[in-house]
A and B are shown apart, each in its own frame.
Chain A
């Protein structure tokens, strides 16, 4: 075990994957000498060479499309999209090509591509640098989508993503890059499926489902709620497509209440999918309609206002109160 930051853990995971498989190559803007704008690939070009850590021209569709061509020839490219808002120029190559090539070719062409996306807000960036575009991709068949929240998962899941024969979008909560944690570098990658959710803390009154950047916030909310006499079970999804509904379902059957929180806008978001799926599966166990605590349906706001948009401890607690039928900000509407 060693202690390292979230960002360092991704770097260590990439390094391990590159050591284990010479077909693993990294592609992206500024990832070579600079080590990426967040330094996630720092030192890798020096150690593995320019043919394995390739600085790309500034063209996201180009990066994605050429990575597909590399995959045709047996490579396992790991692509870095510099910021969440820059993934849109590559959207066509991701949803029409990366996602569908295996299906289109009756399984003949595999696209073992990992797409790393630093995502989410909270770092005071200008527009296009703080978005949460995950729902676009969870809606696309053929893609797997994951988002990790701590150094150990970051280290483990990046290697599982690279080893997967399916394309994986790996969403990195950029505001957590500097969070430190213990990492077991000898972890057995096959011991746990990349699809499995993690019960972070157990509780009996409310199930609080989240992922990525909001996991620590949700934990803080659980501690605060317990001071208030409410026992919250926090689930870190880790996999966003597919979602490990079995774990969420087991929890909701126990607690009878569900709160979902994410930074992404509410409408058509993952919260809606989770609420609907759990309602279908657990309708008779629910004591209250599922509650969503999310970003607003707005373009990501300028940084002085971003903390109103991002769910925080108090907004999550308010959501817990709604699920519990306790006094909350919307009480006057519910009568």
Chain B
């Protein structure tokens, strides 16, 4: 069976922008036109963030960037469902989630510019900094969820990962722990069909969401390019977690329309027709079509969204290119919480080494 086969997939907006109805309607009853327009704006803004960051990389301002192009609905729909006190453990492509959590735009580029190991304070926005080791963060989310249970709280831990990560032991162990402890965790798998150059069929022979029930975790497949549907399924999962129902596994079917990162070339490994098929399911275009149908896609609306995206892009670019260079001796900082004699010695020796250049300069100056 094709793991990407789209049976039993929750969808509330068709690719042509038609509103369908079903059992998930009740989770988005309160979503009025204003809310939908705001979801649309977020998707446009993050697509613009993504384009701007990709441009910054091409211009040599960023060392690398993992584009999210095509995954805006999966990320915005799920992230907008969360409460401030929920905690996100993501991978490295969740720029839209970070944006919705309120991460500072300069901070968003800091890591990719190579100016810091992390862009933001995880506790400032309740989102861990991006995880690079595939799937490792899923266990952290489950541990966080176990701690929520211990605290008697009703927050939820949400972890994002891709289809490739589902092959990792950590992700499978995370499901064992989540089920055993009934931890309030959402496993949000963005099946974007590609793990760098490897198609999802290499990771799974049946739909990925089918694995979770084997661990005792209910799962749902959702059209990841449908922002309303991802919002709905995430709300349901959050409700289950908050009311003691334990973990939920969501597989959002979406597509990575760009490269894995700015360092690879997808034309080498995938068919152009596939990209075309998915372009027809674009998450932003379908909401625009829905608005158009209902007379909401006015010039005013379009220009206000564009103005917002321009502002955000401008702010991000300025923050990125004007970022202060890190201090040399910061390389030794924060390895430990408390002093460590080995490191202090190396730091002292390196400072002395660097000082010899100052002395040389001073000597040269003196001999003139």
Interface residues of A (CB under 8 A from B): 25, 51, 54, 56-57, 59, 61-62, 64-75, 89, 92-93, 96-97, 102-110, 141-142, 144, 164-166, 195, 241-246
A-B contact pairs, 16 of them (CB 8 A): A56-B177, A59-B173, A65-B174, A69-B89, A69-B144, A69-B147, A69-B157, A70-B150, A72-B122, A73-B148, A73-B151, A75-B150, A92-B170, A93-B136, A104-B117, A245-B341
Instruction: Kindly state whether residue B273 has any CB partner on chain A within 8 Å.
Output: no
Kindly list chain A residues whose C-beta atoms are within 8 Å of the C-beta of B122: 72, 105, 108-109
Say whether B336 contacts A62, CB under 8 Å.
Answer: no
Kindly list chain A residues whose C-beta atoms are within 8 Å of the C-beta of B149: 51
Alpha-carbon distance between A93 and B134 when the two chains are bound, in angstroms: 11
Instruction: Kindly state whether residue B74 has any CB partner on chain A within 8 Å.
Output: no
| CB closest chain-A residue, reference B344 | A242
Alpha-carbon distance between A103 and B343 when the two chains are bound, in angstroms: 13
Kindly list chain A residues whose C-beta atoms are within 8 Å of the C-beta of B162: none
Say whether A61 contacts B143, CB under 8 Å.
Answer: no
The minimal Cβ–Cβ distance linking A102 to chain B, given in whole angstroms, is 6
Say whether A166 contacts B338, CB under 8 Å.
Answer: yes
Say whether B144 contacts A73, CB under 8 Å.
Answer: yes
Query: What total of chain B residues lie within 8 Å of the partner, measured CB to CB?
Result: 44
Alpha-carbon distance between A164 and B174 when the two chains are bound, in angstroms: 27
Say whether A166 contacts B116, CB under 8 Å.
Answer: no
Alpha-carbon distance between A57 and B121 when the two chains are bound, in angstroms: 32
Kindly list chain B residues whose C-beta atoms are within 8 Å of the C-beta of A110: 337
| CB closest chain-B residue, reference A69 | B143
Kindly list chain B residues whose C-beta atoms are within 8 Å of the C-beta of A166: 336-338
Interface residues of B (CB under 8 A from A): 87, 89, 116-118, 121-123, 128-129, 133, 136, 138-151, 157, 169-170, 173-174, 176-177, 180, 333-338, 340-343
Say whether A108 contacts B143, CB under 8 Å.
Answer: no
Say whether A72 contacts B147, CB under 8 Å.
Answer: yes
| CB closest chain-A residue, reference B145 | A69
Say whether B173 contacts A62, CB under 8 Å.
Answer: yes
The minimal Cβ–Cβ distance linking B278 to chain A, given in whole angstroms, is 33
Alpha-carbon distance between A142 and B117 when the two chains are bound, in angstroms: 14
Alpha-carbon distance between A129 and B173 when the two chains are bound, in angstroms: 23
Say whether B144 contacts A92, CB under 8 Å.
Answer: no
Kindly list chain B residues whose C-beta atoms are within 8 Å of the C-beta of A104: 117-118, 129
Say whether B342 contacts A102, CB under 8 Å.
Answer: no
The minimal Cβ–Cβ distance linking B133 to chain A, given in whole angstroms, is 5
| CB closest chain-A residue, reference B334 | A107
Q: Given contacts A62-B177, A69-B157, A103-B335, is CB(A108)–CB(B121) below 8 Å?
A: yes
Task: Tell which of A51, A64, A93 touches B150, judged by Cβ atoms closer than 8 Å.
Answer: A51
Say whether B146 contacts A69, CB under 8 Å.
Answer: yes
| CB closest chain-B residue, reference A100 | B117
The minimal Cβ–Cβ distance linking A33 to chain B, given in whole angstroms, is 16
